[in-house]
Structures are given as structure tokens and as C-alpha cells.
Chain A
């Protein structure tokens, strides 16, 4: 049977990892909005 590693890499919990991915996406969308507006 597969075992979960005890230590979650770099961040305190998986929940932090999930927020990191979501916040990164939000920042990308904000950057893309600026990019579109700036060069339109």
C-alpha cells in the first residue's frame, strides 16, 4: 500500500500549496489583463 510522506515539502500544509496555485493563477490573470490593456 502507498504511504503518504510525513513531511510536506516547503510549505506547512497541502492547503498552503493549493492557495499558492490559486493565488499564482490570479496574479497571472491580473498581469495578462495589464499586458492586454498596455499593448492594445
Chain B
């Protein structure tokens, strides 16, 4: 990075932290610190919801995902708009009417304290771990690109955002997310523009799409149906996206307090609903455009020689071993094949009719060749450095940025990765502290009512809330230190969420829609349901069964609903027997 890039990076980060501190003034009580005194307009709620969901992982992994697997990942978000509608009909009015501080307070009013505590604990566990991964994501890139120590990078990365999150609570989080998103979208647009701009003469946006599409990278809609029927193991297709994505989005936005806490800050039901519905409208196109950057990047590398493997640190390490010659030989073959691809693709975009069909098949053949050379290269890297992670999905976009973009823009794009990470991490820390404070400290202290507290006691809780935010920040940094060996981080976070979200959603759905089920039945159902989800995940992991992770959300929710009905009936039958 040039000195100019460093200046841009440091100035952007310092500006965000300063802005967060400037917006930190809030009432020194729990409602002010965790809910911004319920005063936010819909557009701030919208940006806060988007900023919380779109982490650095979104901007790092998604283009890489499109580059390697195509754009079908967008289907994962198809259930989200439907979930927004259900939230607006059911969850939002209820949460606002009960004036809850956390989503889990509702569960005590509906069931009992045990169910509330269990669900809140599940949230703390899953959100604490996934936030650690969210800190790790940008740190991995920085450490790889700059040669920094990953452990110190994690500490610096997590430490800076803690400053304004501890200081200003939900208000500082919302206002910084607004500014962060503006910078992020501007930067991503500029990156997309440069990819097209740097294509060779005669190759524009439409031609790049043709090249990318011919290699199967524009597979936005896939059915998941194979010769042997529907493939349950297939992660992203229309069916799993609409059904699995719906359950995942409903549980994430309806029961994960990092999101519920954002729309609880709205000044009324209307503002909450508008924020959520607008999110339902803009999220899918936004994700489509981010993935499109990856597809365009693929086209870019069909005309320009790029690295075979995008994590240069691993390549350099491998070249210090006896495998150097093998690696360099594969590199030569790869670059020769890319040259062939370049010639073929130029002819392809100019051709018409029967010739075009013939060239399409030839270009596909060359694309398969480059894919197989990449696989051989990765296998050789693995042999040279057995401990190395040979999944370079997260490096593809940033490698392009560092290698290709002009000075200044590199700094800006690196800053964007930080800002995207901070937006989601800050909201997560705020919600983790909120649940610890409200669902555990306040609930189990002698005076657990929210209202009617003395100013001194409110001030004490406010100060303690700041400490909890700080301590969760430290915990998440500690988790980040262990998370740096995972593959695609976006999948890691989603898989982790899917292990818990279905069960949590099932508890809420029973609470909302099945009035006859009581606390004892739903609690037992939640325990058994969670064990079932973990069992399904383990069986899939060891290839005993095929079960894509999005289906875990459906399985968890359905298991809790069915089991709670069965347990409720069994409990009623036992009572009848005992009464006779």
C-alpha cells in the first residue's frame, strides 16, 4: 500500500470513530443506551438493519463466491422479503405493544423464565461466536496483505469499534452505520466501475457478462433438481432459498436480538415496519449487485493474467519448499491457458449464429481446464504446506483491489472492509450487552422491574451496561483468535446461525401461534430440537446423509413445533391419569 492509501485508510477509520463518539450523547439509562429512547425514523432503522446484516464477510466472500461458484448464492436471500412481511404482521406490533427491551422478554410473559433464559443463552452463545468470526474476517485479509501478525490485527480491529460502541450504545451504532453504508456503497460502485473499465478494448459490460455467463457464473436461478431428483445437499437453489431462506431470515430478524434491537429503536410501529419492508425490497438487488462484481471479476481474469491462487502468503510459503518447481510449472500452464481463453473469448463475443455455439463450447472447455489447473495447484500447495488453508474465496476480490486499483482507492477499499465489519460487530456487541443486562442481571437481581427505578440505580445499570459491552468486545476478540482457519467465512457464520436459529424461531412461533402449549412442553421440545439439529449437522458433516445447512433452520423450527405439541399432549394425558 502506498503512503496515500495509508492516509485514506487512517483518516476514514478515525473519522468514523470520531463521528461515533460525537453521536454518543444519550440518556444515561437502559432505554437511552440500548434503544436510543425509541426515537429513530424508518430510514435510520433501515440503514441500521442493513449495516448489521452486511458484515465485512458480505463484501469479501460474496464476490469470491460468485467468482468460484457463480451468482446462485443470491437465492439464499429470496426468503428474506417474505420474512419481512410476516415480521411486520406479527412480531413488530407485539414487541412494541409489550415495550420489551429484548426479544426474549416476550417468552417469559408467554411461557416462563426458564424458556426466556434458555433462548437468551442460545442467542448469546451463537451471536458471541459469530461476532468473533466477523472480527476475524477483515483481520485475515490485513494480516495476509500487510504481513501483520493476525493476533495483533484482531486486537486492533476489535478495539477501535469498542470505543464508540461502549461510549454511545445503540445511538452511536445507528449513526455510524448510516455513514459506513454510504462509504461502502460508493466504494463498491467504484470497484465495479474499475473492473469494467480495465477490460481490454472492445470488451464492455455486456461482453463481460457473456463471457462470465458462458462459464456458468451467472447461474442466478438454479432448481437443485438432478437426474436422481431434488438434491437436499445442494446449498443454494430456488427451493432452499425461498423456504430455508425464509425460516433463516424470520429467525434472524425476528428472534436474534442484534436485529430486533435495531427496529426496537424506531419511534413507533410505522417506522419499524417501513424500515423492515424497505429492507425486503432493497436487500436482494443489493446482494445481486455485490455478486455481479465477482462475476465481472471472473470475466476480467479471462483477459488478464491473474494469480492461480489468490492468497499470496500461502504461495510464498509453499515456494520455500521442494514444491517450488511444480508450482511454477502449473503457473506457466495456467497463464498459457488464460491466454488461450482470452483469444477464444474475444472471438466468442464477436461471433454470431452457429460459430458462436461452437466457440461457446470451446471456451467452456478452456474454462474447465483453468478450473482443473487451479485444483491441481491447490493440491500441490496442500502437499507443500499441509497446515495451509487452500480456500482462497475470501482473497479473490481484495487481491484484485491491491494488485490493480490506483493509489487511494486501495486504501478506501481496505477501509470499507473495516467499516462493514464494524457496522455488524458494533450492533452485535450492543445486543449481547443488552441481553446480558436485561435478561440476566436485571431479571435475576432483587429489583428487576424496568420502570420506577431511582436515578442512582438507573445510572448504575447504565454504567454496568457499558462494562458488559466492553467485556463482550474482549470475548469476541478472543474468539476471533481461533477462527482464522475456517474456509468461506460467510458460510461459517451462516452455518453457525443455522445450528441455533431454527430452534429459537420454533420457540417464538409456538409462543405466537399455538396458545395451548405451555412453558414446560416448549422448553423440553427446544432441548430435544437443538440436539436433533446438531445430530443432523454432524451426520451431514460426515457424509452419512445429505442435508444442506439452510434446511437446519426448517428442521429446528418444525421439530420444536411438533415436539411441543406432542409433549403438551403427553403432559395433559399424564395429568388426567394422575387425576383418576
Chain A interface (Cβ within 8 Å of chain B)?
Answer: 1-5, 8-9, 14, 17-18, 20-22, 24-25, 28-29, 32-33, 35-36, 38-40
User: Nearest-CB distance from B349 to chain A (Å)?
Assistant: 12
Whether A2 contacts B97 by the Cβ 8 Å rule is yes
**Is B81 a contact partner of A33 (Cβ separation < 8 A)?**
no
- State in angstroms the CA–CA spacing of A34 and B222 once bound together: 12
Q: Residue-by-residue, is B36-77 near A (CB-CB < 8 Å gives 1, otherwise 0)?
A: 001000000000000000000000000000000000001000
Given A2-B99, A32-B74, A39-B212, verify A25-B268 contact (CB < 8 Å): no
Q: How far is the CA of A4 from the CA of B569 in the complex (A)?
A: 39
Q: Is the CB of A21 within 8 A of B280?
A: yes
Question: Which chain B positions have C-beta within 8 A of A20?
Answer: 277, 281
Do residues B81 and A22 form an inter-chain contact, with CB atoms below 8 A? yes
Does any Cβ of A come within 8 Å of B552's Cβ?
Answer: no
Docked CA distance A24–B270 (Å): 20
Q: Say yes or no: A1-B99 contact (C-beta < 8 A), given A24-B281, A29-B78.
A: yes
| Complex contacts, B222 vs chain A, CB 8 Å | 36
Query: Can you list 29 A-B contacts (CB < 8 A)?
Result: A2-B38, A2-B99, A2-B267, A2-B268, A4-B270, A5-B268, A5-B269, A5-B271, A9-B270, A9-B274, A17-B88, A18-B85, A18-B89, A20-B277, A20-B281, A21-B280, A21-B281, A24-B281, A25-B81, A25-B280, A28-B285, A29-B238, A33-B220, A35-B218, A35-B220, A36-B222, A40-B213, A40-B218, A40-B219
Residue of B212, B213, B214 with most partner-chain A CB within 10 A: B213
Could you tell me the distance in whole angstroms from the C-beta of A23 to the nearest C-beta in chain B? 10
A10 to B349, CA, bound (A): 45
What 4 A-B pairs have minimum CB-CB distances, sorted nearest first?
Answer: A39-B213, A5-B270, A32-B220, A39-B218
Question: Across the interface, do A21 and B277 meet the contact criterion of CB distance under 8 Å?
Answer: yes
B209 at the interface (CB under 8 A from A): yes
Q: A33's closest neighbor in chain B, by CB?
A: B221
B528 at the interface (CB under 8 A from A): no
Chain A's closest residue to B267 (CB) is A2
Q: Find residues 76-130 in chain B having any chain A CB closer than 8 Å to their own CB.
A: 78, 81-82, 84-85, 88-89, 96-97, 99
A28 touches B284 (CB 8 A): yes
Question: Is B273 interfacial (CB 8 A cutoff)?
Answer: yes
B interface list, Cβ under 8 A from A: 38, 74, 78, 81-82, 84-85, 88-89, 96-97, 99, 209-210, 212-214, 216, 218-222, 238, 267-271, 273-274, 277, 280-281, 284-285, 288
Pair B220/A36 contact, Cβ less than 8 Å: yes
CA–CA, A29 to B77, complex, Å?
A: 11
How far apart are the CA atoms of A31 and B85 in the complex, in Å?
A: 22
Residues of A within 8 A of B74 (CB): 32
* Residues on B with beta carbons closer than 8 Å to the beta carbon of A33: 220-221
CB proximity of A29 to chain B, nearest CB, Å: 7
Residue on B nearest A1 in the bound complex, by CB:
B99
Residue of A nearest to B285 (CB): A28
**Measured CA separation A39–B486 after assembly (Å):** 33
- Minimum C-beta distance from B297 to chain A (A): 16
* Residues of chain B with a CB closer than 8 A to A17's CB: 88, 273, 277
Closest B residue to A7 using CB positions: B270
Please determine whether A3 and B268 come into contact, CB atoms closer than 8 angstroms.
yes
In whole Å, how far is B237's beta carbon from the nearest beta carbon of chain A?
Answer: 12
Least CB distance from B368 to A in Å reads: 16
User: A residues within 8 A CB of B210?
Assistant: 39
Q: Are A2 and B216 in contact (CB under 8 A)?
A: no
Complex interface: chain B residues within 8 A of A29 (CB): 78, 221, 238
Closest residue of chain A to B206 (Cβ to Cβ) is A39
Residues of A within 8 A of B209 (CB): 39
Q: Are A25 and B273 in contact (CB under 8 A)?
A: no
Most buried by A among B238, B271, B273, B288: B273
Decide yes or no: A24 and B81 within 8 Å by CB, A4-B268, A5-B268, A39-B218 being known contacts: yes
